[in-house]
Amino acid sequence: MSDLLPYLVWEKQEGYLCAQHCLNALLQGEYFTAVDLSDIARELDEAESAALDNTDEDNEGSEAKKSQNMDDTGFFSVQVLVNALKLWNVDIIPYGSEDCVDARIHPENEMAYICNLHEHWFTLRKFGNSPLRWYNLDSVLKGPEWISQTYLGMLLTQLKNDGYSIFVVKGIFPSCQADDYAISHPEANEHKENKKSADTDEEMLQAAIAASLLSLSETNDGQQESSSSSSSRVDSNSQPTATTPPSTLEELRKKRLARFDSNDVNIE
């Protein structure tokens, strides 16, 4: 699905600013900078500090004042991402919660996922509301990577097994070029993917038929060779005739039908 790539907003990893890259990839624009997220983190720290009853002077050391929402590497906590997205009326919900049962059954029906492991954040997002338009927008990749509808569920399961925290994204995203293009070009791409899937299924079916018919052909050849050998012992002047295996599916089908017709005559 490379036709959408020129329209996608994807930021390459810079330092430890994966949270910034994750949010901008999700919203498809330069909506947040490291300074913006730092301001949100400080506001959270101040609110959390004000909520605590710090009457004991022993608790006012450097550890108590250390931010729990960001650090010097550029990492930001999930609360920073939550508050940042609230500015756009977008929410993120833990993948394993009761509110996300449908997401675990049909992950392709959701809008996007945010994933986190230790200090790394990245986004999986759908475009044009098409289950065929999922992309991995991880900033450490070489670029956006298309995800098939089938592989999406497998990827989420693998990430969960690897210890990632996964969040389902709910809300209405700002408009973007990638969505506009995906909406205006759905048929050709869906037809292409459906045709590709159908061609693969047909190839597998044909291979299975060929294997089945070839097995019957080999059985018939063995019976004919045995019959030819018996005839040569009865008539010493007759020569055994070599059997040439059929080379096409059509020949195999004809041979199979001939065998069935022969069996019907013997039964009668």
* H, E, C per residue of 77-144: CHHHHHHHHHCCCCEEEECCCHHHHHHHHCHHHCCEEEEEECCEEEEEEECCCCCCCEEECCCCCCCC
Active site residues: 18, 120, 138
Q: How many CB atoms lie within 10 A of CB 22?
A: 24
State the Cα torsion 150-153-156-158 to the nearest 10°.
Answer: -80
What is the rounded distance in angstroms from the CA atom of residue 210 to the CA atom of residue 97?
48
Pairing of strands 120-126, 165-170: unpaired
Secondary structure letter of residue 139 according to DSSP? T
Q: Please, which residues bridge with residue 147 across strands?
A: 134
Structure tokens at 7: 């329209």
What is the rounded distance in angstroms from the CA atom of residue 239 to the CA atom of residue 228?
9
- Helical (H) or strand (E) element with 179: helix 177-184
Could you tell me if 167 and 113 are in contact, meaning their C-beta atoms sit under 8 angstroms apart? Answer: yes
34 closest CA partner among 80, 79, 90: 80
DSSP string, 140-170: TSSS-EEE-HHHHHHHHHHHHHTT-EEEEEE
